[in-house]
Structure 1
Amino acid sequence: MNDEKQSQNIDADDKWNHEERTRKSWDQLIKNPIRQDVVKLAWPILIELLLGSLFGMIDMMMLGWIADKALSAASVAAVGITNQPMFIGLSLAQALNVGGTAMIARYVGAKQPHKVDSVLKHVILLNIFVLAIPLATFGLVFTEEIMRFMGAEADTISAGSTYFKVIMVGYLFQSFNMSITAALRGIGETKAPMRINLRVNFLNVIGNAVLIYGLLFFPALGVTGAGVSTALSQVVASVLMVRFVTRKDSPLKLDLRKKFKYNKIVIQNLIKVGVPASLESLALRIGVMMFVRIVASLGTVVYASHQIALSILGLSFQPGQAFGIAASSMVGRSLGAQNLKKAELYAKETRKIGSIISTGMALLFFFFGPQIVSLYTTDPVIIDNASMALKIIAVVQPFQSSQLILAGALRGAGDTFWPLVATFIGVFGFRVVVAYLLVKVLGLGLMGAWIAVLIDQLIRWVFVYGRFRSNKWKYIRIR
C-alpha cells in the first residue's frame, strides 16, 4: 500500500515537473527579450512590405483584367519591361541608404544622436542630385531605346512608353522617400513609415482603378493611368514624410533651418559601406536585365506569365526583406554599443522567425499556385506557365529568406563586400549563364529560367552564410 502511494506521489511529482518545465519553456518563448525586440521592430516593416507588394499585385491584376486580351498581355509585359531599368535606380538609392542606416544605427547605439541630422542630409542630397535627377533625365530622353534594349516587342513599347516616362518622374520623389524611411529604420522607428506607405498605397490602388478603366469622369488611360497614379502617390508620400520628420516630437529630427555642412567623415563612411552595396545592387539589376532579355525572347504571352510569377515572388521576398532590415538596425545599434554577443543573437533570431514565415508562404505557392495566378488572368496558358514557376519559387524560399536576412545583418555591421561577392557570382556566374543554357540551348522555356533562379539563390546563400559564421563582420569599424 505504501509502495502504491509512493508511486502515485512520484507520478504526481513527474507530472508537476513536466508542467513546470512546459510553463517555463512557454514563458521563455513568449518573454524572450531578443525575440520581443525583433518582433516589435520587424512587424511594421513586414506589414508595410507585404501590403505594398499586395497593392502592387492588385495593380498588375487590374491590367490583367483589361477586356482586350492582347492589350492586357502587352500592358503586363510593359510594366515588367519598364520596371527593370527603373529598379536599377531604386536599388542604387537603396544601396546608398544602406550606408545611412548602418551609420545612423551605430551613432544611436553609441549614444551620439547629434550626428544623425548630418548623415540624413548627406544621404538625401546624394540621392537626389547624384542619382535621381541624372537617372530620371536619362530615362525620359531614351525611353523607347531602353525598352527596345530590354527586348520589348512593338506592342509592348506602344503600350508602355508613356508609362515609363511617368514612372521616371515619380522616381524623383520615391528616392527621397526611401532616404527618410531608411533613416527612420536606423533609429528603430518602423511604425511611421508603415502608416505613411500604407496610406499612399491605398490611394494608389484607388487611383489605378479610376485611371486604368476611366471611372467617374476620368478617361480610360490603361497602363499609363497606372503610372500616373503611382507617381502621384509618391508625391503625397514625400509631403507626409517631410511633415513627420520636421515635427517637434519626431524621433528623427530633420532641421531644415540648420545650414548644411559638408562632412568628410560622413562621405568616407558612406563610400566605405555604400559603394560595395551600390555595386551589389547594380550587379543584381544588370544581371536581372540580362535574365529578363532571355525570358522576353520567348514571346509576350510567356513573358507575361513570367512577370506574374515575378510579382508573386516579390511578395515572397518580403519576410526576408523585412527581417533583414530589422537585423540591419538591431545589429548596427548593438555594435555601436559594443555589444557583440547581442548583435549575433539579433541576427540569429531574425533569421529564425523570417524563415518560419517564408516556409509557410512556400507551402501556399506550391499547393495553391493555379488559384493564386488565376487572380491575375483567365488565360489558361499564362496560368499553366506561372503556376509551374510558383512551384520552383516554393523550393527557393528557404535559401532566399536566409540569405536576405543574414545579408541584412552584415550590412547593418557595415560589412557590404561579401553580399556583393555573393550577388555577383550568383547572378552572373549562375543565373544568367544557366538561364541561357536551359532556355536557349536546351529549350526548356520558362521552367529553365526559374531553375536558374533557384541555383542563383542557393549559391548566394552559401557565400552569405559562410561569411556570417566567420564572425569577422563583428569587427568592421565605422568612424
Structure 2
Amino acid sequence: MTDSEYKKDGKKAKLFKWLKDPTRADVINIAWPVLVELLLGSLFGMIDMMMLGRIGDSSLAAASVAAVGITNQPLFIGISLVQALNVGATAMIARYLGANQNERIETTLKHVILLSLLMLAIPLSILGIVFTDSIMNFMGAQADALHVGRNYFKVVMVGFIFQSFNMSVSAALRGIGETKTPMKINLKANFLNVIGNALLIYGLLGLPKLGVTGAGISTAISNVIASVLLFIYIIKGKSIIKLNIRKPFKFDKDIIYNLVRIGVPASLEQLVLRTGVLLFVKIVAGLGTVVYAAHQISLSILNLSLQPGQAFGIAASSLVGRTLGTNELSQAENYAKETRRIGSMISTFMAIIFFFFGPQLVGLYSNDPEIIQSASVALKIIALVQPFQSSQLILAGGLRGAGDTFWPLIATFFGVLLVRVALAHVFVNIFGYGLAGAWMAVFVDQLVRWLFVYMRFRTGQWKHTKLR
C-alpha cells in the first residue's frame, strides 16, 4: 500500500470515528433531514424568485420581486406567531417523551393545532385579505409593486391557513426527533410548487400567464397538498405523534399553562422581531424599487444561510428537551454545544461562498447591473454575519427546548428593535450609505443577539426550567 493510500485510509478512519461519537451521531441523525428540508426549501424559494426576476419586462420583473418581498413581511408575522406557539409544542413533547409521558403527547398536539388555527391563522388570514392595500401601503409599496402584488397577497393568505397546520404537525414530529417524515412531505410539496410556478408565472402548456399571482396560487396549492399528506400520516397512528379524531377533546389547564409560559415570550420575541424587520424594510423600501429588489435578492440568499443554524437549532430543541425530561442535565449541555459546533462549521463554509462569489449568485436572479452591484456588497456583509448568526440561532434553539424563552426575547428586543432599526436609520437616512448601510446594521444586530444568548447559555440556569 502506498503512502497516499495509507493517508487516505487514515482520513477515512478519523471521519468514521468522528461520526460515531454518540452525542454527535444523535445530533446529525436529527439535524440532517431538517437541514436538507430547509436548504432545499430555500433553494426552491430562490428558484421562484429567479423566475419572477426573469420575466421579460424588466420593470415588471423588479416590481414582482419587490411585491413578493413586501407582502412576505406581514405574512411572516403570522408565520412567526404560529412558530412561537410551536416552540412550546416541540419543548413539551420532547420533555414528555424523555419523561415517558407519552399519553400527553397527542393531547398537546391537539391543543397546538386548534390554538394555531382558531387564534392565529384564520383571523390573520381574514385581516390580510380584507386590508390588503392598507397593509401593502404601510409597508412602503410603490404603485407598481402594489398593482402586481395585490392578488398575490390575498392568495398566499388563504394558503397560510394550511401552512400553519403543517407547521404545527412538523413541530410535534421534530419534538420526538422524527424529522424525516416532514422532510419528505415538505420537499414533495415544494417541488410541486416550483413546477406550478413555472406553469402559472409564464403561462406554459396553455395555462394563463399570471405572473406573480400565479406564484401565489402555486404556493397555496402546495400548502394544501402538504396538509393532506401530513394529516393522513398522523391519523394512521404509525408514529408516537398520532391524532385520533374520534377521541373526545377537552382542554387541559396544565398543557395550556405550559404553552402560555413557553409560547408567550416566544410570541413576543417574534412580534418584536417582525416589528423591527417591518420598520427596517420601510427604511430600505424608501431607497426605491430597484434597490429594494436587490435587497430582496440578498434576503433570499440570506435565508439559505439561515438554514444550518435553524436546522441545528431544531435538533438542539429536541435533544435538550428530551434529556432534561430524563434529568440528564450535563448531556443536555453537551447536545447544545455539539449542535452549535457542527452548525457553525457549515455556516462558515457558506460564508466563504457568499463573500467570494456574490456577483455570480446575484446574477442568477437578475441581469440588472445596479441590482447585481448592490446585492453583491450586501452579500459580503452577510458573510461576516454568519458565525454570530449561526451560534445565536442554535443556542437559542437549545434554550427554547428547555422552555427558557425569556432570554431569546430580550436578545431580540435589544438586537432587532433597538440596534438594527436605529442603526439602519442612521446609516441609510443620515449617512447615506444606501443598501450597504442597512446590512451593516444587520451585522451589529446579530452580534448583540449572540452576546445575550451566549451569556445566558453560559449561566446554565436554563437546565432547571420546570414544566407542569
TM-score exceeds 0.5? yes
Match of 2:428 among 432, 439, 462: 439
Aligned to 1:274: 263
Aligned to 1:242: 231
SS in structure 1 opposite 2:466? coil
Query: Displacement, 1:31?
Result: 1.6
Q: Call closer, same or farther: CA 1:378–1:337 in 2, change over 3 Å.
A: same
Aligned to 1:81: 70
Match of 2:177 among 184, 188, 194: 188
Query: Displacement, 1:248?
Result: 3.5
Q: Aligned pair 1:217/2:206, yes or no?
A: yes
Q: Call closer, same or farther: CA 1:29–1:369 in 2, change over 3 Å.
A: same
Aligned to 1:65: 54
Aligned to 1:46: 35
Query: Displacement, 1:249?
Result: 1.9
Query: Displacement, 1:236?
Result: 0.4
SS in structure 2 opposite 1:246? helix
Aligned to 1:476: 465
Aligned counterparts of 1:96 and 1:23: Cα–Cα separation in 2: 43
SS in structure 2 opposite 1:361? helix
Checking the alignment, whether the CA contact within 8 Å between 2:91 and 2:318 is kept in structure 1 is yes
SS in structure 2 opposite 1:453? helix
Aligned to 1:176: 165
Amino acid in structure 2 at the alignment position of 1:181: S
Aligned to 1:398: 387
Q: Call closer, same or farther: CA 1:477–1:239 in 2, change over 3 Å.
A: same
Q: Write out per-residue CA displacement over residues 270-310 of structure 1, whole angstroms, 9 at most, x where no aligned residue.
A: 01000000000010001000000000000000000000000
Aligned counterparts of 2:16 and 2:286: Cα–Cα separation in 1: 56
Q: Write out per-residue CA displacement over residues 60-103 of structure 1, whole angstroms, 9 at most, x where no aligned residue.
A: 00000000000000000000000000000000000000001100
Q: Write out per-residue CA displacement over residues 229-248 of structure 1, whole angstroms, 9 at most, x where no aligned residue.
A: 00000000000000111113
Match runs of 1:55-134 below 5 Å = 55-134=44-123
Aligned counterparts of 2:13 and 2:170: Cα–Cα separation in 1: 38
Aligned counterparts of 1:182 and 1:72: Cα–Cα separation in 2: 35
Aligned counterparts of 1:450 and 1:212: Cα–Cα separation in 2: 31
SS in structure 2 opposite 1:462? helix
Checking the alignment, whether the CA contact within 8 Å between 2:77 and 2:270 is kept in structure 1 is yes
SS in structure 1 opposite 2:205? coil
Aligned counterparts of 1:47 and 1:26: Cα–Cα separation in 2: 21
Structure 1: which 5+ runs fail to align?
A: 1-17
Aligned to 1:427: 416
Aligned counterparts of 1:227 and 1:217: Cα–Cα separation in 2: 19
Aligned counterparts of 1:149 and 1:394: Cα–Cα separation in 2: 31
Aligned counterparts of 1:250 and 1:188: Cα–Cα separation in 2: 11
Q: Aligned pair 1:308/2:278, yes or no?
A: no
**Which structure has the greater CA radius of gyration?**
1
Aligned to 2:332: 343
Checking the alignment, whether the CA contact within 8 Å between 2:91 and 2:400 is kept in structure 1 is yes
Q: Call closer, same or farther: CA 1:26–1:388 in 2, change over 3 Å.
A: closer
Q: Write out per-residue CA displacement over residues 35-76 of structure 1, whole angstroms, 9 at most, x where no aligned residue.
A: 000000000000000000000000000000000000000000
Q: Call closer, same or farther: CA 1:24–1:316 in 2, change over 3 Å.
A: closer
Aligned counterparts of 2:461 and 2:386: Cα–Cα separation in 1: 27
Q: Aligned pair 1:298/2:270, yes or no?
A: no
Checking the alignment, whether the CA contact within 8 Å between 2:102 and 2:240 is kept in structure 1 is no
Structure 2: which 5+ runs fail to align?
A: 1-6
Aligned counterparts of 1:216 and 1:428: Cα–Cα separation in 2: 47
Checking the alignment, whether the CA contact within 8 Å between 2:89 and 2:109 is kept in structure 1 is yes
Amino acid in structure 1 at the alignment position of 2:126: T
SS in structure 2 opposite 1:261? coil
Q: Aligned pair 1:378/2:374, yes or no?
A: no
Aligned counterparts of 1:413 and 1:280: Cα–Cα separation in 2: 16
Match of 1:334 among 317, 323, 329: 323
SS in structure 2 opposite 1:304? helix
Aligned to 1:7: none
Amino acid in structure 2 at the alignment position of 1:309: S
Aligned counterparts of 1:434 and 1:216: Cα–Cα separation in 2: 49
Aligned to 2:150: 161
Aligned to 1:13: none
Tell me the TM-score normalized by structure 2.
0.97
Aligned counterparts of 2:413 and 2:317: Cα–Cα separation in 1: 21
Match of 1:283 among 256, 259, 272: 272
Query: Displacement, 1:467?
Result: 0.2
Query: Displacement, 1:265?
Result: 0.4
Checking the alignment, whether the CA contact within 8 Å between 2:85 and 2:267 is kept in structure 1 is yes
Q: Call closer, same or farther: CA 1:24–1:238 in 2, change over 3 Å.
A: closer
Aligned to 1:203: 192
Aligned counterparts of 2:122 and 2:205: Cα–Cα separation in 1: 34
Amino acid in structure 1 at the alignment position of 2:365: Y
Query: Displacement, 1:142?
Result: 0.4
Aligned to 2:401: 412
Aligned counterparts of 2:348 and 2:83: Cα–Cα separation in 1: 26
Aligned to 1:9: none
Query: Displacement, 1:429?
Result: 1.5
**Identical counterparts, % of pairs:** 66
Checking the alignment, whether the CA contact within 8 Å between 2:237 and 2:243 is kept in structure 1 is no
Aligned counterparts of 2:271 and 2:329: Cα–Cα separation in 1: 31
Query: Displacement, 1:439?
Result: 0.3
Amino acid in structure 1 at the alignment position of 2:158: V
Query: Displacement, 1:251?
Result: 3.2
Amino acid in structure 2 at the alignment position of 1:360: F
Checking the alignment, whether the CA contact within 8 Å between 2:165 and 2:227 is kept in structure 1 is yes
